[in-house]
Structure 1
Amino acid sequence: MPETRKSQTSTDEYSARHLQVLEGLEAVRKRPGMYIGSTDSRGVMHCLWEIIDNAVDEALGGHCSAIAVVLGEDGSVTVRDDGRGIPTDIEPRTGLSGVEVVFTKLHAGGKFGGGSYAASGGLHGVGASVVNALAARLDVEVDRAGKTYAMSFRRGEPGTFDDSAGAGPDSPFTPFESGSELRVVGKAKRGTTGSRVRYWTDPQIFLKTAELSWTELTDRARQTAFLVPGLSIQCRDERRVKGTPGEDGPVEERFENAAGISEFVEFLAPDQPVTDVWRLQGSDTFTETVPQLDARGHMVSTEMERECVVDIALRWGTGYDTRTEAFVNIIHTHKGGTHVAGFEQALLKVFRKQLEVNARRLKVGGDKVDKDDVLAGLTAVVTVRLAEPQFEGQTKEVLGTSAVRGIVAGVVERELTSLLTSTKRDTKTQASQLLEKVVAEMKSRISARQHKETQRRKNALESSSLPAKLYDCRSTDVERTELFIVEGDSAMGTAKAARLSDFQALLPIRGKILNVQKATVGDMLKNAECAALIQVIGAGSGRSFDLDLVRYGKVIIMTDADVDGAHIRTLLLTLFFRYMRPLVEAGRVYAAVPPLHRIEVINAGSKKNELLYTYNEAEMRTTMKTLERRGRKIKMPPQRYKGLGEMDADQLAETTMDPRHRTLRRVTLADAEAAERVFDLLMGNEVAPRKDFIVDSAHSLDSERIDA
């Protein structure tokens, strides 16, 4: 049961002092989604970003060099910085200290007038106060002018906690009545400044399942370190949460980067480079009309001249995926906005102009390049810095300042044209390769469109166009049909007899297919096994892949239950992940689970012996012990299947293929970015990181799992 907030409901204790402080923050508590998006884990993380971003704003202004974030064992979150410290003097209009204004007043802070922060992430002046309103308890300490100041809040209300039994959100709380007190709790070393914020999220507001993600925190810290060169961010997790790196004890990671967004692009890029990382930089000014308070406290429309600084790092690779990360004053605008629109608009304009100039050499013909052709294989980080940008909502996911579009477009057009027309040998070679790649993408798109109809499901008269080794099913109902990719011809014979031919199709593959993580698109298409798979699935590959054209409802990888089978399965999954990812994202790729052992239980008399199947060594041993305790006789030794071909058709159908009895593992893609890194680590060209991974992970491998 939520606790009753007597101090706000009782007329004896509810004073004008409480009304003044809480009237604004109560709106936040009633409608938290307006300010933080949701009350699940995303909302909890958004609160953390608000506090971290305030510290990062100090770093952007050149006043902060180190930030530390601690996820405490007691459920608290602490963010420390060595910035200037939150102002502690009295704000004249409210008569409150700067600390109290920042944490209790909506739309109050140092980011409105432009004097304190030329460019910042916190813009609406509600971040710290919103976190305070949604926190069961928040403590703030400030080092400034040789003193350490402190103040505490309970659900946005200032007061004091009795921490004699230990600090926590449930400690006895006494609200301030007549006036607030910013306490001096110690001395700070000369020249030492900074702020420390520690808070506990409020269980009355957030869902029970809401929790802070260590992975998201470290990803954001790494990203911020790239965006603010020279800033050190240290993260520490003391919670011992199961399934996280810190489950066995506190874990720390520290991020600092001097190269900036150029190295960020290299970190994000998943493929081999066609060009180096190019930097497009520039700035311009624009004028906007904003309301400002005059000396009498009236809102007056004022013409303001703003400067917008554009810094973009981009690189084209051999792949076809596009990765564009956009930032405004280090705030990640996940859904883009005017800066991304200007960037893409200028890219298309520049490439159309360059292809028109080089049309004869590149054999462009009469076709026009499209935006997707230009973006294929592009990894880019787009950053803009400006004072008081307009965002759509407090969550700051979309930039709305219209003038930024034209400024970004102008910088990109000027700088990119200079690179594509450069006379420097290396740059000229890269530009030529890039233009050829864009033309190839254009021709591939046009070809895919022209032949789209031929990729639809073939009827009986057209089946000869499919690979001869495909044993297709009779049904044309895509929702019901299944394609089994079978390892080897030996298993194929058994699978043919075991399948339900009405809706189960079979495609054998010979041995280990090409590792497409290392190969080029051309090599992949030349590989017979890869080409046959793409042809049978019938939906194309890469950017032209169309999920609606897939010929089967399920694609099931059926390999032997040994190391080679696992390797073949991994190679096939690499192909699906790299060139048919929508199929994996839709949850239509599965792995069959064939048994490893067959235990034959001897029955007395003429009764037929009973067959039991187990799927690993531990299960086999447990089953045999259970049977022995029951006094059942077992035919020894139990059969160990070396491959699918050793099974009878009835056994294969019963254990692995018949929907009524089989077990399938669905292949999911919860985190595309993490999956990309894993595939690149385990299947990519770089051997050294893979060797390090194997060495570091060797101690955690159970030697009995090695099938040798």
Structure 2
Amino acid sequence: MSEASYTARHLSVLEGLEAVRKRPGMYIGTTDSRGLMHCVWEIIDNAVDEALGGHCDQIDVVLHADGSVEVRDNGRGIPVDIEPKTGLTGVEVVFTKLHAGGKFGGGSYTASGGLHGVGASVVNALSSRLDVEVDRGAKTYRMTFHRGEPGTYADRGQPGPDATFTPFVDASELAVVGKVAKGRTGTRVRYWADRQIFPATATFSYDELVSRVRQTTFLVPGLRISVRDERGLPGTPGADGPYEETFVAHGGTVDFVDHLAPDTPLTDIWRLQGEGTFTETVPMLDDRGHLTSQAVERTCHVDVALRWGTGYDTEVRTFVNIIATPKGGTHLAGFEQALVKTMRKQVEVNSRRLKLGAKETAGERLEKDDILAGLTAVVTVRLAEPQFEGQTKEVLGTAPVRAIVAKVVEAELTERLTSTKRDLRTQSALLLDKVVAEMRARLSARKQKEISRRKNALETSALPTKLADCRSDDVERSELFIVEGDSALGTAKLARQSDFQALLPIRGKILNVQKASVADMLKNAECAAIIQVIGAGSGRSFDLEAARYGKVVMMTDADVDGAHIRTLLLTLIYRYMRPLVDAGRVYAAVPPLHRIELTGSGAKKSEYIYTYSEAELQQTLARLNKQGRRYKDDIQRYKGLGEMDADQLAETTMDPRRRTLRRVTASDAAAAEQVFELLMGSDVGPRRDFIVAGAGALDHTRIDA
């Protein structure tokens, strides 16, 4: 189009809810399942804002079988009187006008989640039908909408979006449809998402809904929220009929941290609370409806709950007025700033007890990751009209919040770390030991990474002397076999293909790292050797790209002790080198249990059949007897890898053309963590119960007595 022909008549002006339907991504981020869920949160958050103000203590969410969603609350109810500037009822203003609501000043909400005034109106615009009922003033008021336009539906029986719709022409009507007890108030919103906007593949996730609802009840103590699923979808808890769950929490953020924490506690859950004020200039509507800039004093309330555990994973959740901010913002920056400053100061004060040498105190300092290791925390702030980066509210942008959070956390955390109470003093000492151990582990891992690269022929290797390395530099092809015992090592050296198969022997049962600290793990010669040979570091500093081998194979005896050693090795790898498991690069070798030697006519010289279980042995013998094949009655049962000849070990366990390897996977990391804690953790009671429950299935013949 030429410059002369491009004129003002080519410009489009979208007004009201028409803009939302034309560009929904601007308001809800996306039109897939995430956008569909975002609409639910907008309605729920309006109800939760009533709870934050102390006006509501019960919210019900229903996923109806017809695809609609209903949210009910016992708050004050949306205002039903006439709004003077528009001449419309409060209900119609809330559901049809963008940037309208009770959260722009005027004292309706001191802190709220819905802040841009587009929540309810955007959901209305993106719904093929929306019904709202308000209990207020002993009456029930009702209004219905079709894609954002108010009108009436000719419902026959069950309401639905396909009923005949008649829009209001001259004036809208907020109908009175019933009476309620005096003093009873509340709002009910039911809507059908518009499938012209959302594709058929976009669905409401029950699990995501429950997770968010549970999270909300932790953040608003005493608020009761029920979720009911009537859809009967396969694969959901309500597949066999309506399913309902109710959530309520009275401990607030402390209960939330207790729910989130995955590992054994090192400290109690500490709650850090405080507030601060700041001044910001905001545009305000005056009596004539004009915007004027005014300086307003804001109060920011800070509520942080945290605890450190024995693990090294970090779980930090941040919220502003109960709205999750998964990408952080100024409140998270202030929290982390205070943590680093406070912990560095305490480590410096306690440097003699922590045995920090001059080099460590002068040349190296604690880093944020050292302190965050094993931390579970919930950081919440409440303030009026926070500034978010975008309508999806994933990042808090209000700058003064950073300094307020940092000041509160620093003061409260310092008080606990310097307390003279015995319990707090013990926990403080354990915590400082942990963060210093994390620092030393990081420095050690960095040094290992620098020296554990493959050396060429002119360099001396810094790898353990007991490692029988391979010649190939091709990581994808190379394999590391962790071998149980020196007797098996001798046979394995003859059986391996030294071009790409490396061997590392270990002496029996290594340290159980699920119960040991990071420092103890690094001091253990076997654990340190395994980490050094793999060459990718450990814990937070683990770098999968730096791993020296494409496969790590645990080759242990096919007995109970071998299984125990394999479990200890897996515990080490899962806890400190988990990306290896996630990438599918960890394997367990499968050595045979029996060798059957065939004899008689038709049998080749030294013809053997290997079996890998008692059941397979019996099936194989039955098959041979049926075929009339003869074999020696003296069937060899291998008790260990050292009993095999090199050619037998190569043929059955190490030769890629004939061997069987079991790949170790952990599709559900949380479930895997629970299993490791059950089998290898410090808590004996659950492990005893597990052993007793499984005692009946034990094969007594496999116990070496």
2:314 equivalent to 1:322: yes
Alpha-carbon separation, structure 2, partners of 1:690 and 1:49: 41
1:489 Cα deviation after fit:
8.1
Greater alpha carbon shift after TM alignment, 504-513 vs 143-152: 504-513
2:42 equivalent to 1:45: no
Report the residue type matching 1:206 in the other structure: F
Which residue in 1 is equivalent to 2:163?
Answer: 172
Report the CA distance shift for 1:654/1:446 in structure 2 as closer, same or farther (over 3 A): closer
Which residue in 2 is equivalent to 1:156?
Answer: 148
Render the CA deviation track for 1:50-106: whole Å, top value 9, x for unaligned.
Answer: 222222111111111122223333333222222222222232222333222222222
Alpha-carbon separation, structure 2, partners of 1:596 and 1:44: 56
Alpha-carbon separation, structure 2, partners of 1:291 and 1:221: 34
Which residue in 2 is equivalent to 1:518?
Answer: 515
Q: Does structure 1 retain, via aligned residues, the 8 Å contact 2:551–2:586?
A: yes
Superposed counterparts of 1:383-398, under 5 Å: 383-398=380-395
Which residue in 2 is equivalent to 1:449?
Answer: 446
2:249 to 254, 257, 274: 257
Alpha-carbon separation, structure 1, partners of 2:205 and 2:630: 50
1:459 Cα deviation after fit:
4.7
Report the residue type matching 2:420 in the other structure: T
Q: Does structure 2 retain, via aligned residues, the 8 Å contact 1:114–1:387?
A: no
1:126 Cα deviation after fit:
1.3
1:398 Cα deviation after fit:
0.8
Report the residue type matching 1:135 in the other structure: S
1:412 to 406, 409, 417: 409
2:267 equivalent to 1:275: yes
Greater alpha carbon shift after TM alignment, 642-651 vs 137-146: 642-651
Report the CA distance shift for 1:261/1:29 in structure 2 as closer, same or farther (over 3 A): same
2:189 to 185, 189, 197: 197
2:203 equivalent to 1:211: yes
Render the CA deviation track for 1:99-123: whole Å, top value 9, x for unaligned.
Answer: 2222222212111115111101111
Report the residue type matching 1:29 in the other structure: R
Alpha-carbon separation, structure 2, partners of 1:236 and 1:597: 56
2:535 equivalent to 1:538: yes
Which residue in 2 is equivalent to 1:381?
Answer: 378
Alpha-carbon separation, structure 2, partners of 1:298 and 1:216: 42
Report the residue type matching 2:67 in the other structure: G
Greater alpha carbon shift after TM alignment, 68-77 vs 590-599: 590-599
Q: Does structure 1 retain, via aligned residues, the 8 Å contact 2:446–2:537?
A: no
Report the CA distance shift for 1:150/1:305 in structure 2 as closer, same or farther (over 3 A): same
Report the residue type matching 1:237 in the other structure: D
Q: Does structure 2 retain, via aligned residues, the 8 Å contact 1:457–1:549?
A: no
Alpha-carbon separation, structure 2, partners of 1:592 and 1:161: 68
Residue 50 of structure 1: SS of its match in structure 2?
A: helix
Which residue in 2 is equivalent to 1:7?
Answer: none
1:33 to 25, 28, 33: 25
Report the residue type matching 1:547 in the other structure: L
Report the CA distance shift for 1:526/1:357 in structure 2 as closer, same or farther (over 3 A): closer
Q: Does structure 1 retain, via aligned residues, the 8 Å contact 2:441–2:522?
A: no
Alpha-carbon separation, structure 1, partners of 2:47 and 2:316: 25
Report the residue type matching 2:64 in the other structure: G
Report the residue type matching 1:453 in the other structure: E
Report the residue type matching 1:521 in the other structure: V
Which residue in 1 is equivalent to 2:54?
Answer: 62
Report the CA distance shift for 1:83/1:513 in structure 2 as closer, same or farther (over 3 A): farther
Report the CA distance shift for 1:346/1:651 in structure 2 as closer, same or farther (over 3 A): same
Greater alpha carbon shift after TM alignment, 24-33 vs 669-678: 669-678
Report the CA distance shift for 1:562/1:346 in structure 2 as closer, same or farther (over 3 A): same
Structure 2, unaligned runs of 5 or more = 1-11, 597-601
1:298 Cα deviation after fit:
1.6
Q: Does structure 1 retain, via aligned residues, the 8 Å contact 2:437–2:518?
A: no
Superposed counterparts of 1:538-577, under 5 Å: 538-556=535-553, 571-577=568-574
Q: Does structure 1 retain, via aligned residues, the 8 Å contact 2:315–2:375?
A: yes
1:329 Cα deviation after fit:
0.7
Render the CA deviation track for 1:169-197: whole Å, top value 9, x for unaligned.
Answer: 4x224141313333333332333222222
2:314 equivalent to 1:296: no
Render the CA deviation track for 1:304-330: whole Å, top value 9, x for unaligned.
Answer: 111101111122233333322111111
2:12 equivalent to 1:24: no
1:129 to 121, 135, 158: 121
Residue 397 of structure 1: SS of its match in structure 2?
A: coil
Greater alpha carbon shift after TM alignment, 416-425 vs 55-64: 416-425
Superposed counterparts of 1:492-503, under 5 Å: 501-503=498-500
Render the CA deviation track for 1:202-243: whole Å, top value 9, x for unaligned.
Answer: 333334443333332222222222211111122233334444
CA RMSD in angstroms, aligned pairs only: 4.6
Report the residue type matching 2:414 in the other structure: T
Report the number of matched residues.
679
Alpha-carbon separation, structure 2, partners of 1:387 and 1:441: 39
Which residue in 1 is equivalent to 2:398?
Answer: 401
Alpha-carbon separation, structure 1, partners of 2:70 and 2:47: 12
2:221 equivalent to 1:224: no
Report the residue type matching 1:120 in the other structure: S
Residue 452 of structure 1: SS of its match in structure 2?
A: helix
Alpha-carbon separation, structure 2, partners of 1:348 and 1:38: 37
Alpha-carbon separation, structure 1, partners of 2:335 and 2:247: 29
Residue 181 of structure 1: SS of its match in structure 2?
A: coil
Superposed counterparts of 1:54-93, under 5 Å: 54-93=46-85
1:424 to 421, 426, 431: 421
Report the residue type matching 1:40 in the other structure: D
Report the residue type matching 1:174 in the other structure: F
1:429 Cα deviation after fit:
3.2
Report the residue type matching 2:167 in the other structure: F
1:494 Cα deviation after fit:
8.5
Q: Does structure 1 retain, via aligned residues, the 8 Å contact 2:328–2:394?
A: yes
Which residue in 2 is equivalent to 1:5?
Answer: none
Alpha-carbon separation, structure 2, partners of 1:422 and 1:286: 30
Report the CA distance shift for 1:317/1:106 in structure 2 as closer, same or farther (over 3 A): same
Q: Does structure 2 retain, via aligned residues, the 8 Å contact 1:343–1:412?
A: yes
Residue 545 of structure 2: SS of its match in structure 1?
A: helix
Greater alpha carbon shift after TM alignment, 361-370 vs 60-69: 361-370
1:159 Cα deviation after fit:
3.2
Which residue in 2 is equivalent to 1:16?
Answer: none
Greater alpha carbon shift after TM alignment, 435-444 vs 103-112: 435-444
Residue 555 of structure 1: SS of its match in structure 2?
A: strand
Which residue in 1 is equivalent to 2:599?
Answer: none
Q: Does structure 2 retain, via aligned residues, the 8 Å contact 1:563–1:707?
A: no
1:283 Cα deviation after fit:
0.9
Q: TM-score, normalised by structure 1?
A: 0.81
Residue 16 of structure 2: SS of its match in structure 1?
A: helix
Which residue in 2 is equivalent to 1:102?
Answer: 94
Superposed counterparts of 1:450-465, under 5 Å: 450-459=447-456, 465=462
Which residue in 2 is equivalent to 1:11?
Answer: none
Report the CA distance shift for 1:437/1:175 in structure 2 as closer, same or farther (over 3 A): same
Q: Does structure 2 retain, via aligned residues, the 8 Å contact 1:389–1:399?
A: yes
Residue 535 of structure 1: SS of its match in structure 2?
A: helix
Q: Does structure 1 retain, via aligned residues, the 8 Å contact 2:74–2:187?
A: yes
Alpha-carbon separation, structure 2, partners of 1:247 and 1:557: 42
1:689 Cα deviation after fit:
6.1
Greater alpha carbon shift after TM alignment, 290-299 vs 392-401: 290-299
Render the CA deviation track for 1:540-577: whole Å, top value 9, x for unaligned.
Answer: 21233233321123335567899988776655443333
Report the CA distance shift for 1:462/1:304 in structure 2 as closer, same or farther (over 3 A): same
Report the CA distance shift for 1:379/1:503 in structure 2 as closer, same or farther (over 3 A): same
**Percent of aligned pairs sharing the same letter:** 72
Q: Does structure 2 retain, via aligned residues, the 8 Å contact 1:77–1:200?
A: yes
Residue 382 of structure 1: SS of its match in structure 2?
A: strand
Report the residue type matching 2:264 in the other structure: Q
Which residue in 1 is equivalent to 2:436?
Answer: 439
Q: TM-score, normalised by structure 2?
A: 0.81
Alpha-carbon separation, structure 1, partners of 2:237 and 2:618: 32
| Larger Rg belongs to | 2
Report the CA distance shift for 1:491/1:434 in structure 2 as closer, same or farther (over 3 A): closer
